[in-house]
Structure 1
Amino acid sequence: MHAPKHYSQAPITEAAISLRLELPDDVTLATLTDVHLAIKAAYPMSQDILAFQGQMLAGASVGATASQTQIGYNFLSSDQKHSFQARLDGFTFSRLAPYERWETFRDEAQRLWNIYRSVANPKSISRLALRYINRLDFPLPLDDLKDYLRTVPEVSADLPQGLSGYFMQLQIPQVDLTAMLLLNQAIIPPQNPNVVSVLLDIDLFRDSDFPSEEKALWEILEQLHIRTDQVFEACITDRTRELIN
């Protein structure tokens, strides 16, 4: 397996760190507005986060109802490259392209988490996730996806081999990390007619056995980061590395 490295043309379109939490009963939306007061200079824009619920009705007549509830706020940086969600059920920090380095991304997430934690005082953590959404553009003509990707759908030799689209999801337990890897891959609309664009979505999460110590929690996140790098390298070939180097 290739060692993880820093690519000058990293294909990451979005990176996200998420925690699903249980907050004390007395924490409300008004409480979460205090988070924005502490970060407003760097994250001046605020958006409501809404959760939608639908219900089917059956009986003499069939119908449906829908409702929405606000569950938090999304705070955006001035350039809209950084997004910080402070919700009643969790915390999410994301970075849009261009992605810089893990250390920069992690440190800003930790800074915001400390502010969120001091305001919301979470009772427990039920999920910790690290996600990298990559867009890979392969030049045409493209004879075989295996020239660029090591994990691809296998088409029977008795069928035509040309693909105009596909979606593939793999769920791969990471037993040593007590985690689960969701690996999504699909052909997506290209940015220009001279390439084939492939989505490579690496979603690694853990939903049990969380330590009470803050330092240990971030050590788990470091382990997840190392694994996501390893997964990315395991999915691509040297030809892809040449494209993004």
Structure 2
Amino acid sequence: MEFQFNIEAQHADFSTKPTIRLSSEDQADIAVIQQQTLTWSRLAPYLGWDSFIERVRSDAEEVHKIVGPFRLDRIGVRYINRIDVPLNKDGGAPYGEYLAINIDIPESIQSVKNYAWRFEYQVPDSDLLAILQSAIVSPEVPNTGAFILDVDVVASQNIPLRIDEIFIKLEEMRRAKNRFFEMSIRDEARRMFDK
């Protein structure tokens, strides 16, 4: 549902966008189809990039067979990483020990109960935009704190038309996403991901 408000005219328009949501039997693989958007997602348990991209390639080739060649305005590779950490003695989650990108908080503030940050970075010598975000989220594991590290790499210009070239572009975007992820975490978090 889309809402558009005009306060001066005291008028609101409501419209719906047709959305088709398809999912696997276990609800872990999801495809959302809208008028100008195709989104593929994978929830836990994660099977790795090769499995995921093969599914996307197969689906994209089927769409291409049905609708013919199409121009994309935007493509993205996004990973939302959830990091569960033990609470410190004050009952806070010491996110600064896990993330290399932090909000500079004065030493007199020992522990924060909530935070959120976001930045966008135009990758030099590239048409890629990196969007990084982090925030505290509700813990799901007892006696832990949790936060997310959301790494999104987007291309909205110079997008190839041919499907094989799109997947070459997606691989380039995945490598950029991996670089930003590695730059964003500290060894303490890296050890958790290596388990």
Q: CA deviation at 1:94?
A: 0.8
RMSD: 1.9
Aligned to 2:34: 87
1:70 aligns to what SS in structure 2?
Answer: coil
Q: Which has the higher contact order (CA 8 A, sep 6+)?
A: 1
Contact 1:169 1:184 in 2 (8 A): yes
Alignment of 1:49-60 (within 5 A): 51-59=1-9
Matched, 1:104 2:51: yes
Q: Point out 4+ residue stretches in structure 1 off by more than 6 angstroms.
A: none
Q: Which of 134, 137, 143 is 2:84 aligned to?
A: 137
Cα separation, partners in 2 of 1:78 and 1:58, compared to 1, 3 Å? same
Q: CA deviation at 1:218?
A: 0.8
- Structure 1 unaligned spans of 5+: 1-50
Aligned to 2:106: 156
Q: Which of 106, 116, 120 is 1:167 aligned to?
A: 116
Q: CA deviation at 1:224?
A: 0.7
TM-score of the superposition, structure 2-length normalised?
0.89
User: When the two structures are aligned, how many residues end up with a matched partner?
Assistant: 191
Determine the C-alpha separation between the residues in 1 that align with 2:180 and 2:45: 20
Contact 1:71 1:89 in 2 (8 A): no
Matched, 1:223 2:190: no
Contact 1:91 1:113 in 2 (8 A): no
Contact 2:17 2:34 in 1 (8 A): no
Aligned to 2:136: 187
Residue type of the alignment partner of 2:35 = L
Partner deviation per Cα, 1:85-139 (whole Å, 9 max, x = no partner): 2222021111111111100000001101111122223531110101101110011
Contact 1:86 1:116 in 2 (8 A): no
1:185 aligns to what SS in structure 2?
Answer: strand
Determine the C-alpha separation between the residues in 1 that align with 2:79 and 2:37: 19
Say which structure is richer in strand: 1
Aligned to 1:38: none
TM-score of the superposition, structure 1-length normalised?
0.72
Q: Percent identity?
A: 24
